[in-house]
Chains A and B, each alone.
Chain A
Amino acid sequence: MNGNFGIEVRGLSKSFGKTKALKNVSLAVEKGSIFGLIGPDGAGKSTLFRILTTLYLPDSGEAFVSGLHCVKNYKEIRKRVGYMPGRFSLYQDLTVEENLSFYASVFKTTVKENYHLIKDIYQQIEPFKNRRAGNLSGGMKQKLALSCALVHKPEVLFLDEPTTGVDAVSRKEFWDMLKELKNSGITILVSTPYMDEAMLCDRTGFIQNGAVLKTGIPESIIDDFQGEMFSVTTSKPQETVKLLSEELGDNTVFRFGSELHIYGNPSMEIFLKAFKESHPGLNLEIQNTRPGIEDCFIQLMNSNNES
C-alpha cells in the first residue's frame, strides 16, 4: 500500500456464478488525479466500482481506498467516499433540494458547510430546486447526483458512467467540473463507454471482458500504438469501407464519421496508394497520421479478441 495512491487495486477477481466479471485486475490512482476507466458495456466497470465502494466482496485480491482496506475497513471507507452509481439512484419523489439536504444530513454535514465544493454544479440546477428529481432532464439528473455525491466533501469520488445518456454540451461541462474537483484535491475514478473522454483523464485504463488491458497516461498509450495509422477521407465512405474490407479482411478498416482509419505496417501505404489509383471515383485522400486514443483502444480490443 502506497500512501500516494487514492485508490490501489491488486489482483482483484470476482465471479458471479460462472461469469467472471473481473479477472486479476490491478491499477493505481494517484491522489488528486482523475483516472478514466474505459470499456464497453458489460466489461466489468460497475463490478469494480462496487468492490471499491465496499458493496461487493472480491473473490480474491485486495483493494485500498484512501489507504483503507476495502473489506476490513468498509465502515470507514463509506464515510469518506462519494459514489455515483451507474443507474440514477436518487429519490425521484423528492425535490432537488430535499435530495441534496438528505444526503448532506446522512453524512452529518450541511449543504451550507460544503457549498463551495458543489457551487459550480449546483448553481446550474438551483433554479429547479423545487422540482422533483424524477422530472429532471438527463443532464440535470447527473448534476444533481454529482452534487449529492460531493456534498460531504469526499476524499475519493467514484463516478460510474456519469456521462452516459447525456448530451454533448453537458458532457463537456461535466468534465470541466471534474477538473475543478481534481484541483481541490479529490481523487476521482470515472468510468465511461466513450473512448474520446479518455484524453480528459490524467491516467486511463482500458477494460474488456473483466480484464484491464492497459493503463497509462493517454499520450503514452498513443505512443505505444503498434504500426502505422492511415487516415483516409472519401466522398463515398460506405462503398470504400466495403471495398477495402474485401481486400484487407474484417477488423482493419474503421469508420469515424466520414473518415476511415486503417491500421497496418508501413507497407500498407503502398497498397493504399495503389488502391487509390485503381478507384479514382472514390476521391480518396490518404494520410499517415498520429493515431488517437480511440485507435489505440480499438487495436487493444482486436488483439485481445484474437488471443
Chain B
Amino acid sequence: MRSFWAFVKKEFYHIFRDRRTLLILFGIPVAQILIFGFVVTNELKDMRIAFLDHSNDEVTHEIREKIIASGFFINDAILESTNQIEPAFKKGNIRQVVVFEDHFQQKLNREGKAAVQIITDASDANTASQLVNYTSAIIMQYVNEINAGKALPMTIHTEARMFYNESLKGVYLFVPGTIVLILMLISAIMTSISITREKEMGTMETLLVSPLKPAQIILGKVMPYMLLALVNAIPIALLGYFIFGLPIQGSIVLLALESLLFITLALALGILFSTIAPNQMVAMFASMIGLLLPTLILSGFIFPLENMPQWLQIFSYILPPRWFLTIIKNIMLKGAGLEFVWRETLILAGMTIVLFTVSIKKFKIRLQ
C-alpha cells in the first residue's frame, strides 16, 4: 500500500512539473467553455419576436415594453389573431411569439392570476429553450415588482410551447455535451500519454523489475487524474451556470458522483489505449480520433440520436458518452434523481469494470 501511495505522489509531481500537462488539464476546458459561451451569448442578441395581445391593456403593454427593453429582443410584428402565428414563423423572421390571454389586466386584478403563452421556434432547440428562459425571467421580474408591498400576491402563469420540436427531443444542449466531451478527452488523453511516456523514457523498464503489480501501476496512474478531472468539472459547471444560465436542477452530489463514474471510465479507456499504443503520439491520436469524433457525432451531443439510421443507433449503445449525456441532461435540466438514471448508471459502471479488467489483463508485464 505504501508503494502505491509513493506511486500516486510521483504522478502528482509529474503533473505539476509539466507545463504542457497543466495546460491540457486546465487551460483547454476553460477555453472550450468560453468559446461556446461567447458564441451563445452573441446569439441571444436582437432576437426578432412578435406579440399577439388579445387584451391590449395597461399591464400587457408594460410587459411588452419590459421584454423589448431587455435588449435581447426586437419587436418584429404585432399579430392580430392566432391564425397569423404559423405563417409568421414560416416566414422565418421571428423566433418567438408572446401571447397574452384576453382580459389580462382584469383577471390579474380580480383573480390574482393571468396567463402568458410563449411560443418558440424550436427547430434550433438550444436557442429556443434560452428564449423561453429569458422571457419567463423578465415576466417573473415584472410580477415581483408589482407584488412588492401587496398582501395578496398576483401570479402570471407562463406557458411555454415549442413549435416544430414539441418535446425538445434531441436538444443539442452544448454545456452538458461539452462537459462530457472535456471529461472524456482530458481523462483519456492524459492517462494514455502518461503511461506511454513511461515506456518512452525507459522508466517502465525499471518499474517492471520491481514488486509493483499491474493493478497498482494502473490505479496509481488513474487516481491523480481522477481527482484533477473532478476538480476540473467544477469550473466547467460554474461557467455553464453563469454564462449559459444553465440551471442544475438535480442533486449536485449525484451529479458529482455520476461525473466521477464517467471520469473513471474515461481513464480506464485511456489506460487501455496506452497498453496498446507504442508511444505518446499514437496514444494521443488514438484517443483523439477514437473518442472525439464518436463523442461529437454519435452521443447525441450534436445530432439527435433518434434521427440516425438503426445500425448507428445500435452502435451508439457501446459509446459511454451517450449514456453519460443522458444522465447529465436528466440531472441538470430535468432535476431527475437516481431512480430515473439508474439504468444508465449501471451500464456505465459495467463498462468501467470491463475496461479496467481488460486493461489490467492487457497490461504487459514484460517489454514485449
Instruction: Give chain A's interface residues, CB within 8 Å of chain B.
Output: 50, 53-57, 74-75, 78-79, 81, 83, 85, 87-94, 98, 101-103, 105-108, 148-149
Contacts and interface: CB of A to CB of B under 8 A. Distances in A.
A57 B208 CA distance: 14
Contacts of A106: 3, 6-7, 207, 210-212
A78 B203 contact: no
B150 interface: no
A54 B368 contact: no
Given A55-B367, A105-B3, A108-B2, A83 B14 contact: no
B13 interface: yes
Interface in B1-48: 2-3, 5-7, 9-10, 13-14, 17-18
A91 B203 contact: yes
B206 interface: yes
Interface in B176-219: 201-203, 205-212
Nearest to A99: B10
B309 to A, nearest CB: 44
Contact of B206 (A74, A89, A92, A93): A89
B6 A89 contact: no
A79 B203 CA distance: 17
Contacts of A89: 201-203, 205-206
A191 to B, nearest CB: 15
Contacts of A149: 206
B202 A85 contact: yes
Contacts of A50: 367
Contact of A56 (B2, B7, B206, B366): B366
**Top 5 nearest A-B pairs by Cβ distance?**
A105-B6, A89-B202, A55-B367, A83-B209, A87-B202
B212 to A, nearest CB: 6
B13 A81 contact: no
B3 A78 contact: no
A88 B209 contact: no
A149 B5 CA distance: 20
A98 B17 CA distance: 13
Interface in B312-368: 365-368
B202 A108 contact: no
A94 B203 CA distance: 12
Nearest to A83: B209
A55 B366 contact: yes
B18 A81 contact: no
B211 A78 contact: yes
A78 B206 CA distance: 10
B13 A78 contact: no
Contacts of A108: 2-3, 211
Number of contact residues on B: which range applies?
Answer: 20 to 34
B19 to A, nearest CB: 11
Nearest to A80: B211
A98 B210 contact: no
Given A55-B367, A78-B208, A98 B203 contact: no
Contacts, number: 81
Contacts of A55: 205, 208-209, 366-367
A85 B204 CA distance: 11
Contacts of A105: 2-3, 5-7
Given A89-B202, A91-B203, A93-B14, A101 B6 contact: yes
A51 to B, nearest CB: 10
A81 B209 contact: yes
A54 B366 contact: yes
Contacts of B212: 106
Nearest to A145: B206
A78 B209 CA distance: 5
B33 to A, nearest CB: 29
A28 B207 CA distance: 26
Nearest to A71: B366
Nearest to B17: A93
Contacts of A94: 10, 13-14
A185 B18 CA distance: 41
Nearest to B364: A55
7 contacts: A85-B205, A89-B206, A105-B3, A105-B7, A106-B7, A106-B212, A108-B211
A77 to B, nearest CB: 8
A120 to B, nearest CB: 22
A88 B210 CA distance: 17
Contacts of A102: 6-7, 9-10
Nearest to A94: B13
Contacts of A101: 6
B334 to A, nearest CB: 45
Given A78-B208, A87-B202, A105-B5, 10 more contacts: A57-B366, A78-B210, A78-B211, A88-B202, A102-B7, A102-B10, A103-B210, A105-B7, A106-B212, A108-B3
B22 to A, nearest CB: 13
Contacts of B368: 56-57
A78 B5 CA distance: 20
A165 to B, nearest CB: 15
Given A78-B209, A89-B206, A93-B18, A56 B367 contact: yes
Contacts of A92: 201
A79 B211 contact: yes
Nearest to B2: A105
B13 A98 contact: yes
Nearest to A160: B205
A106 B2 CA distance: 8
